[in-house]
Amino acid sequence: MLTPAANQADAKGQRVRKMFDAIAPRYDLMNRVMTLGFDQSWRRRLVEQAGAGRGFLDLACGTGDIAAMLAGQNSQARVLAADFSHNMLMEARRRFADSPISWLACDANYLPFADASFDAVTFGYLLRNVADASRALAEVARVLKPGGRVVCLDTTPPRQGLIAALARIYLAVIVPFLGKLLAGDRSAYAYLTGSTMNFYPAEELAALFTAAGFVDVGFKRLMGGTVALHWGKKSA
């Protein structure tokens, strides 16, 4: 029998999966527009931070950009990309049909991999969309090899000041409008911007990485302080 917390987590997962399934066809266009075209450069920074290795797992892979960059940077490596949105995976497979990437539908809270399976685990905007970020990080730590790296992009609430005030207006007003105009789904992008404002500040998310057992934890803010690149390493 599921506990109330488990029921709540499952309900959130179902809502988020339905939302991403709905916006998958226009996801890439919206990413380019609402990040002013910077999203790909952030992904490249993530992949550079992930470094070299023989086995990579990209969670919440979306339409496949990070996984494709990992495969390009590590031509002899095994790259596995996972998402729980089937429509996102369909888009990823279509976009990178000639890539050696393996695609898998799975839940980041219950990864179907043995302990110590990967040299690096990456993800973009996963943690704000799960009910329990600490549980997801624990699963990431479990499947990483000792000394393995975790690198991710996620949103972070803007801090105080003029830039933060402008960022808040952009997130609260402009992004949902663009979602309606370009993706036909204002509510999905209202959720995404709301999840930015209500998510952990970068310092608190870094503390969760440390609590999950990662060392050499760090982060760098991007996009006026509304996005952060986070990294850490599993203890050897």
Could you read off the pLDDT of 182-229 as tens digits, one per residue?
A: 667 677 667 777 777 788 999 999 999 999 999 999 999 998 888 999
DSSP secondary structure letter of residue 96: T
Q: In angstroms, rounded to a whole number, what is the distance separating the alpha carbons of residues 105 and 2?
A: 22
pLDDT at 159: 78
Span between the terminal Cα atoms of the chain, in Å: 37
Looking at every residue in the chain, the average pLDDT score rounds to 88
With pLDDT > 90 as the criterion, what percentage of the chain qualifies?
61
How many domains is the chain partitioned into structurally? 1
Q: What is the CATH number of the domain that holds 213?
A: 3.40.50.150
Q: Residue 21's domain spans which residues?
A: 4-234
The arithmetic mean of pLDDT across residues 130-137, rounded, is 95
pTM value? 0.88
Q: In angstroms, rounded to a whole number, what is the distance separating the alpha carbons of residues 40 and 222?
A: 13
- Farthest CA pair distance, the chain: 49
Q: In angstroms, rounded to a whole number, what is the distance separating the alpha carbons of residues 39 and 28?
A: 10
Region of poorest pLDDT, from 12-21, 48-57, 98-107, 173-182: 173-182
